[in-house]
C-alpha cells in the first residue's frame, strides 16, 4: 500500500535481524549495539521546536541560516522574515521577556529576547525605529515594542510584542525580522523548520509538529519482539530467539497471526484455514485445518499458561483448543463489520473480539470499556491490545491512529509523529508494564511509544509485515 499522507489523514490522538529461515541479513551482521538503536524518523535533522509564527500577516522567508554576510566574514545564525514595516510581531511561545534593547543603532538595533519555560530562547532583532510612514530613524518608543514589553514581562504565545522594522544594520534593506532560536544549552538552531511547521507548511519530511508524548524507553517494557511477515517469515529483535518459520514452506493458506508461549521460548503461527505451526516450546493442541470453515481464521490468542489457544474467524466464530475455554462468540450474530482481532483477559477466563469498525464484543470476565463503533473512522481498525491489568485496551486503525479505553493511556500514534508520509499499521502490542506499546508497520518498521524500547526493525528489508509479538522481560 502507498504510505499514509498527513494531508488526508488525522491522528485520533495517535538487534539482530534474523531472516525468515534464520539467516541474518547483511545489515544485521553490522548492527550497532542496543544503546545505539533509534528510529531515524524520530530524530529529525535539523532540530526544530514548537512555536507560534512570530509575525502577523503576509511574509516571505527562505532557509538562509548559515548563509554568508559581510563578504562571508560573518555567518547568518537566524532566519530573516521579510515583511512590511510596522507589521505586528508575536510571541513565539509562552515565556518571559529576558532582554530588551531600545538603541536602534549598532548591529542589532531595537531587539528583545523571550525565554520559554523549557529554556529555549527566541531573539527578535531589527525592530522598528521609524515614525509611521517614514524612514526617519526617530525611534519613537510607542512603535518599537508593544505596551508592557519590558524585562520580566510574561507573555503568551501569539501575544503582540513589537513591530517589524529595519533598525540597526538593516537600515537600507527591506524591513524584516531577524529571528533566532537557541536551545537550552545556548546552541543556535535553524528556525526554518519550526517556522514552516508553525504555518502548517511541510519542512523536509514533516508536515506538522509532533503531538505524541516524549518516549521514555525502559528495559521493563520487554526483552524483544518478533515481526511476522506475510509469508510466515519471522524476524527477531532483542532477546527474541528464532525457533523456525513457514517462510520456506508451501502453504495451503496464508499465515494470518502469531502468538508466543509464556516463556518466550516458542511461538505458534496460524493460517487462514486454522492450520497451526508450532515452534520452540510451543505445543500443538489442535487446529481447524481439516474443518470446513464458514469464514477464514483472522487471529489467535494463547491462554496465560500456554497450554491452549483460541482461534477466531472473521465472523467471530471461536475455536478453543487445549485448556482454552469457550466463553461465547459472534458466530450467530449479523455483524456490521467483520472481526479482525481478539485478545484474552489476564486470567484467561474471557476475551474481547474487535470488528473493523472498532465494535467490541466482551465474553467471560472481559469487561467492556468502550469502542469506536459509533465513530466515523478515517481508516478501519486492524488490531487491539489489552493492558496488563485487563481493565482497558487500545485499538489500532490502519492509519496508525490509536484509541485508548479503560485504564489504557494514549502514548501516541503514527500520525502524531507529524510526518508527511508514514506506513500503514499492522499490529499493536502493549509493553509489559502497560506504560507503552509498539506499533508494527506493514513495511516492517516498528514504532515504540511510552516506555516501549526500540530493538530494531525490518524497514529496510522490503517485507510485508502482518503482526508483532513481544517477549516479556526475562526474570
Do 97 and 221 fall into the same domain?
no
Residue pLDDT, tens place only, 261-295: 999 999 999 999 999 999 999 999 999 988 999 99
Do 30 and 82 fall into the same domain?
no
CA atoms within 13 A on the CB side of 258: 31
Do 244 and 126 fall into the same domain?
no
pLDDT at 130: 98
Whether 63 maps to a domain, the answer reads no
Do 193 and 256 fall into the same domain?
no
Whether 50 maps to a domain, the answer reads no
Nearest to 1 by CA among 414, 442, 343: 442
Residue pLDDT, tens place only, 33-86: 233 344 544 444 468 999 999 999 999 999 987 665 556 656 668 999 999 999
Nearest to 431 by CA among 458, 475, 394, 459: 394
Q: Give the CATH number for residue 135.
A: 2.70.70.10
pLDDT at 68: 57
Distance CA 28, CA 22 (A): 12
Q: Give the CATH number for residue 349.
A: 2.120.10.30
pLDDT higher at 331 or 195: 195
Task: Work out the end-to-end distance of the chain between its first and last CA atoms, rounded to an integer number of angstroms.
Answer: 40
Do 190 and 218 fall into the same domain?
no
Do 162 and 221 fall into the same domain?
no
- pLDDT-derived band at 116 (thresholds 50, 70, 90) equals very high
pTM value?
0.86
pLDDT at 72: 60
Whether 59 maps to a domain, the answer reads no
Do 156 and 295 fall into the same domain?
no
Do 102 and 139 fall into the same domain?
yes
Whether 47 maps to a domain, the answer reads no
Total number of domains constituting the chain: 2
Domain around 144? 68-198
Do 10 and 99 fall into the same domain?
no
Do 193 and 303 fall into the same domain?
no
Whether 373 maps to a domain, the answer reads yes
CB atoms within 10 A of CB 375: 11
Do 218 and 189 fall into the same domain?
no
Amino acid at each position: 500500500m502507498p504510505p499514509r499522507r498527513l494531508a488526508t489523514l488525522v491522528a485520533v490522538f495517535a538487534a539482530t535481524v534474523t531472516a525468515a529461515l534464520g539467516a541474518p541479513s547483511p545489515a544485521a551482521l553490522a548492527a550497532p549495539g542496543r544503546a545505539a538503536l533509534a528510529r531515524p524518523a524520530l530524530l529529525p535533522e535539523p532540530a526544530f521546536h514548537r512555536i507560534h509564527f512570530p509575525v502577523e500577516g503576509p511574509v516571505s522567508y527562505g532557509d538562509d541560516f548559515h548563509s554568508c554576510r559581510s563578504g562571508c566574514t560573518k555567518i547568518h545564525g537566524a532566519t530573516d522574515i521579510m515583511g512590511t514595516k510596522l507589521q505586528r510581531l508575536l510571541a513565539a511561545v509562552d515565556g518571559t521577556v529576558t532582554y530588551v534593547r531600545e538603541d536602534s543603532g549598532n548591529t542589532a538595533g531595537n531587539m528583545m529576547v523571550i525565554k520559554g519555560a523549557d529554556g529555549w530562547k527566541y531573539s527578535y532583532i531589527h525592530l522598528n525605529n521609524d515614525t509611521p510612514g517614514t524612514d526617519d530613524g526617530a525611534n519613537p518608543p510607542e512603535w518599537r515594542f508593544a505596551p508592557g514589553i519590558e524585562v520580566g514581562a510574561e507573555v503568551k504565545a501569539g501575544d503582540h510584542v513589537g513591530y517589524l522594522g529595519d533598525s540597526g544594520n538593516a537600515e537600507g534593506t527591506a524591513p524584516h525580522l531577524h529571528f533566532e532560536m537557541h536551545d537550552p544549552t545556548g546552541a543556535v538552531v535553524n528556525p526554518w523548520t519550526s517556522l514552516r511547521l508553525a504555518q502548517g507548511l511541510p519542512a523536509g519530511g514533516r508536515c506538522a509538529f509532533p503531538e505524541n508524548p516524549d518516549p521514555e524507553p525502559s528495559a521493563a517494557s520487554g526483552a524483544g519482539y518478533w515481526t511476522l511477515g506475510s509469508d510466515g517469515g519471522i524476524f527477531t529483535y532483542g532477546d527474541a530467539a528464532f525457533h523456525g518459520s513457514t517462510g520456506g514452506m508451501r502453504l495451503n493458506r496464508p499465515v494470518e497471526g502469531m502468538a508466543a508461549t509464556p516463556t518466550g521460548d516458542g511461538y505458534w503461527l496460524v493460517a487462514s484455514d486454522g492450520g497451526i505451526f508450532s515452534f520452540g516450546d510451543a505445543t500443538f493442541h489442535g487446529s481447524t485445518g481439516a474443518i470446513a470453515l464458514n469464514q477464514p481464521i483472522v487471529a489467535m490468542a494463547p491462554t496465560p499458561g500456554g497450554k491452549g489457544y483460541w482461534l477466531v474467524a472473521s465472523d467471530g466464530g471461536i475455536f478453543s483448543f487445549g485448556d482454552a475455554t469457550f466463553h461465547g462468540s459472534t458466530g450467530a450474530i449479523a455483524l456490521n463489520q467483520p472481526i479482525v482481532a481478539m485478545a484474552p483477559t489476564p486470567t484467561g477466563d474471557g476475551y474481547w473480539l474487535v470488528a473493523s469498525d472498532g465494535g467490541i464484543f466482551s465474553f467471560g470476565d472481559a469487561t467492556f470499556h468502550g469502542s469506536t463503533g459509533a465513530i466515523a473512522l478515517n481508516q478501519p481498525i486492524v488490531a487491539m491490545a489489552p493492558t496488563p491489568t485487563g481493565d482497558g485496551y487500545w485499538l489500532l486503525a490502519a492509519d496508525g491512529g490509536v484509541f485508548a479505553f479503560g485504564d489504557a493511556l494514549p502514548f501516541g500514534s503514527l500520525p502524531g509523529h507529524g510526518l508527511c508520509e508514514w506506513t500503514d499499521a499492522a499490529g499493536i502490542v502493549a509493553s509489559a508494564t502497560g506504560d507503552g506499546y509498539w506499533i508494527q508497520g506493514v513495511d516492517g518498521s516498528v514504532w515504540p511509544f511510552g516506555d516501549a524500547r526500540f530493538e530494531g526493525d525490518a524497514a529496510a528489508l522490503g517485507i510485508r509485515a502482518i503482526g508483532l509479538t513481544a517477549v516479556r522481560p526475562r526474570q
